[in-house]
Structure 1
Amino acid sequence: MLAEGCKQLKTIRLGGFSKVRDAGYAALLQSCKDLKKFEVSSGSCLSDLTCLDLDEAAPKITEVRLLCCGLLTSETAISLSSCTNLQLLDLSGCRSIADSGLVSISQLSKLTLLDLAGADITDAGLSALGNGRCPMSSLCLRGCRRISNNGIATLLCGSGTINKTLLSLDIGNVPRISGRAVTLIAKYCEQISCLCLRNCLLITDSSLEALGSMRHNSGKNSLRMLDLSYCSRLSRNFLGLFDPPLFRGLRWLGVGKNMLERRGCIPTVGELLERKPGLTICSNACEMGCRNQCHPHIRIH
């Protein structure tokens, strides 16, 4: 009944429909020929069958978000690779998405945003992306625990253009990411402006030095936001790495509260903010870019 009354819809967002099965989702998609945006969150009965022939059911679709849908596998990613107009694909929380799905996704020539948080991908999957056709500007790999520095190398040094187009990269909560990955990002990501390294426990002070001094063709450091929350190997004096002229252009820095509570930090937060007008330091482990001045751990100078 819902499908019959929604033929003109261009956007569908569904959340928490625990009893809706593939047939229901498919009927809805088949009836909405002008659909451009499709989102389902926590669809516990949604499986790979829903996205079969999605390119025919919704030929104009540009955005697909399938969040925390536990039955989805790489077959869904393979099906979505036929949607040639796709610009945004969010599969965060779909833990059975694996490398074979990335091989297909990597050929989407209009895809600019890809979120794979928590996926079961490896370095081989990142190699496929690095050699693919996607003009990717935003990539989230948070919690993809099987990837390593080698995967970041193949992602950024492949035959594709992702190292020239990538603006935002989230590799937080990936235990095998270390300073080598950070050095590669500083060297090859020409336009990177947002980088999340939260809970990467191998990141040290020396890991950040290349990032702070990177320069590309413009002669400027493109980095604007950096999340270092819970990077517990940083020293008590790591804020000194952000003194001018390093990290020129940085506007937001995220750190864990416990890091700023260490005694004897040089420089202090206040001293750094005096030297860097316009910088926001958040010690409340917020998501990147927050400017909520209601909590006490936001410092804006």
Structure 2
Amino acid sequence: MVTELLSPPVVPYQSMEHIRPSILQGLQKLCLSVDYITDTMVCTITKNLNCLTHLDLRDSPIMEPRLAFDLTNAGIQQINLHGRLKHLSLRVNDLGILLMADRCSDMESICLCGFCQVTDTGFRTILHSCAKIYKLRIYHGPHLTDLVFHDVAATSLTLTHVSLRWCNLLTNHGVARLVSNGNLSVLDLRDCRNIGDEALRRISNLSKLKALLVDGSDVSDMGLSQLSKGAMSSLVSLSIRGCKRLTDNCISFLFDESSNCELRELDLSNIPNLSDAGVLLLAKRRIPLFELRMRQCPLISDTSIMVLASMKVDEEGWYGSSLWLLDLYNCGGITQLSFQWLKKPYFLRLRWLGVSSSVSRDVLDALFRNRPFLHVAFRGEELGTTGQWDNSDDLYMHDYDEVDELEQWIEGENEGDDEDIQEVENNA
């Protein structure tokens, strides 16, 4: 179907001079999600889309494809024949990378997904051949080791965005080499399980870092204290989801009272030892967070919601006013009683809320009547993530205009809405 769509239509007995070009020949950006990426598909794209600068090919095979239905080194050599590609996302092996590198010296971003056959040789070829790359994303690189970044400081690269997900052979030493590039603003090391406190110590020196994700790594409370001495002053987003060694103390280590914190997004999900005491420490620091995720934390209870609802970012502000997203899905101690803290005048900026499916439908309906602009997910969906809302049964969405609920409350509108929730709570 893809090849038919991209190829020019041919009518029987029609001369070559009268074949109409494809209506897509001027396309500059193409993202395809298909069952299989084949040589034929790549050749068709290259032949018919001469103006292409962005190419993203994603496959989801049910089983390992046969050679005839897979992308081979022959197909990879056809990529970027016209020399215009700036951004590329696909999968291949070492030889394919070597064959492609000469034609991709002007590439600015590369995303390599599912590269089970690529080793350090292929990854190093990219870093040393593509001097203009500033975005590098590698998802599931089982053969990627510290050697890839051994001499990265000797290159002319100016990396600003690096994502190395599920690269379990990467250690603190490799991260130390990587962060010698001081221009990093986004660093994603999720599910790199051998990353620990020493890596955080090196990362803390990145003065331009805006987003850091170390989900599932081996970091501890003391390791996070290293961030407060440096990178925490520039960080806007931090995710430490699933870091099992962390406790409530990580909050006090992260948010030193003397530090100037710019953090607006914090993910504390799936931390078994995070409790209400940690949330209380967070509230005392008065960090004006926009997004707070604490899903699947068994020790988080109604007390945490009460604390967050009562928090003031400053003396003149409104209670809980800064939070735009709050994810409390599957937190062990959350009950229906906490919903009284989710009504006005609390959390007036809140637009996304994640709760467990065990919450009474009557309580949810009362909350929707009270706050029609609130999106509530209760089946474990990742809040605020594009493409996660296909199942309408799992998400309550109200397509009203984005009216500022804080301004509406100040003006005195809908003063009687709180009675609905109170009545449901009394009947529960």
TM-score (norm 1): 0.92
Amino acid at match of 2:341: L
Say if 2:149 and 2:177, in contact at 8 Å, map to a contact too.
Answer: yes
Aligned to 2:353: 253
Aligned to 1:68: 166
Aligned to 1:284: 379
- Which of 217, 228, 231 is the matching residue for 1:133? 231
Q: Following the alignment from structure 1 to structure 2, what is the Cα–Cα distance between the partners of residues 184 and 209?
A: 13
With over 3 angstroms needed to count, the CA separation of the structure-2 counterparts of 1:144 and 1:58, relative to structure 1, is farther
Q: Following the alignment from structure 1 to structure 2, what is the Cα–Cα distance between the partners of residues 17 and 159?
A: 44
Aligned to 2:309: 212
Residues 86-125 of structure 1: pairs in structure 2 closer than 5 A: 86-125=184-223
Q: Following the alignment from structure 1 to structure 2, what is the Cα–Cα distance between the partners of residues 145 and 23?
A: 33
SS at match of 1:165: coil
1:183 aligned onto 2:283: no
What's the CA shift for 1:133?
3.3
Amino acid at match of 1:190: I
Amino acid at match of 1:232: G
Per-residue deviation, residues 68-90 of structure 1 (Å, max 9, x unmatched)? 01101111221122111100000
With over 3 angstroms needed to count, the CA separation of the structure-2 counterparts of 1:159 and 1:126, relative to structure 1, is farther
1:147 aligned onto 2:246: yes
Residues 17-28 of structure 1: pairs in structure 2 closer than 5 A: 17-28=115-126
Aligned to 2:143: 45
Moved over 6 A (4+): none
- Structure 1: which 5+ residue stretches go unaligned? none
SS at match of 2:162: strand
Aligned to 2:157: 59
Q: Following the alignment from structure 2 to structure 1, what is the Cα–Cα distance between the partners of residues 136 and 300?
A: 37
- Kindly tell me the number of residue pairs found equivalent between the two proteins: 294
Say if 1:252 and 1:280, in contact at 8 Å, map to a contact too.
Answer: yes
- Which of 235, 255, 259 is the matching residue for 1:156? 255
Amino acid at match of 1:150: N
Amino acid at match of 1:99: D
SS at match of 2:359: helix
Say if 2:110 and 2:135, in contact at 8 Å, map to a contact too.
Answer: yes
Per-residue deviation, residues 116-143 of structure 1 (Å, max 9, x unmatched)? 0000000111100112234001011010
Q: Which has the larger radius of gyration?
A: 2
With over 3 angstroms needed to count, the CA separation of the structure-2 counterparts of 1:293 and 1:17, relative to structure 1, is closer
Residues 164-183 of structure 1: pairs in structure 2 closer than 5 A: 164-183=261-280
Identity score, percent? 35
Q: Following the alignment from structure 2 to structure 1, what is the Cα–Cα distance between the partners of residues 167 and 235?
A: 24
- Structure 2: which 5+ residue stretches go unaligned? 1-98, 399-428
Residues 194-273 of structure 1: pairs in structure 2 closer than 5 A: 194-217=291-314, 219-220=317-318, 221-260=321-360, 268-273=363-368
What's the CA shift for 1:58?
4.6
TM-score (norm 2): 0.66
Per-residue deviation, residues 162-211 of structure 1 (Å, max 9, x unmatched)? xx211111110000101111122223253201011001111111122121
1:275 aligned onto 2:370: yes
Amino acid at match of 1:211: L
Q: Following the alignment from structure 2 to structure 1, what is the Cα–Cα distance between the partners of residues 382 and 291?
A: 12
